[in-house]
Structure 1
Amino acid sequence: MIEGLYEAHLPVKNLDISMDFYKKIGLKLAWRDEDTAFFWIEENKSWVGLWEGKEYQTPYHPSLRHIAFRVTYDNMKNVLTWLKSLQIEVVPFGKRTTIEPFVRPNQGNASVYFNDPDGNSLELMCSIKVPDAYKHMTEKLSLEEWEELLTR
């Protein structure tokens, strides 16, 4: 099921300085918001997330204890069954109350979260193709909602 690394996260003190550094070493900016920026390691395959702020310097911030593994979109559709077969409990992401895999159209990916035995945050993630008309959407959608949207 797991095909490779999708993302890793690093805390940074100054996002602009760090962005300049990662551009200098040849990484391409994927997207940025107020306090985070993501750079492609392998375009559309893996990226590194930079998180700015003093609170990100503590060793317990999720950005320091998080790995996302790359899966295919087809496998994402079956990920809950696969994790359940391994007796791994899926956890909601952020303020979400559901454990269902979800799509982030503005980022071009879908994911589901779970923890390892030490409480490290793990994620299964896949890239998705997003039509131009939906690239602005910041709302998180279930896979079912996403596929329904694409059929309209």
Structure 2
Amino acid sequence: MTQPNLPLTGACLCGAVQLHVTAFPLLTLACHCRDCQKLAASAYSLTVMFPAEAVTATGELVLGGKHSEERKHYYCPTCLSFVLSRLKAAPERVNLRASLLDDLTWFTPFVEIMTEEKQPWAQVPVSHSYARFPTTAEELADLMDDYAKTIAPSAPGTDPA
């Protein structure tokens, strides 16, 4: 895996919502839940988790999709692109739809979740796989630490493995 060049930029389909990201991802993932399959109109959705303070979305965002007090999904009101999600339990993080970023040459999902709902033919090149979700905050923190090591630039003369 490679480290993205910062800042990252992106936009919704119509360009009414512009994205600007100033920090490296905390985690990349593919979600196989049926909700994400429906939201993405695909076998899974691709997500990049960032520190919330590093993500700026300019333009109007509206709440939509299947949401609750615990989980909010935000869309562009013009083209209805699914832009980002916020979790009440993790206000310090934002889950951004990977497909909206302009440059994805660095992107590979590191984790797949909700594989119990995975389409039988869907294959994702990941390092970690979960039938549902990581079960503890410590487990998620360990995943983020492992991911950070995979995108960290290596020192000259060292093996990045």
- Same fold (TM > 0.5): no
RCO (CA 8 Å, sep 6+): is it higher in 1 or 2?
2
Q: Normalising by structure 2, what TM-score? A: 0.27
Q: Which has the higher helix share?
A: 1
Q: Normalising by structure 1, what TM-score? A: 0.29
Q: Which has the higher strand share?
A: 1
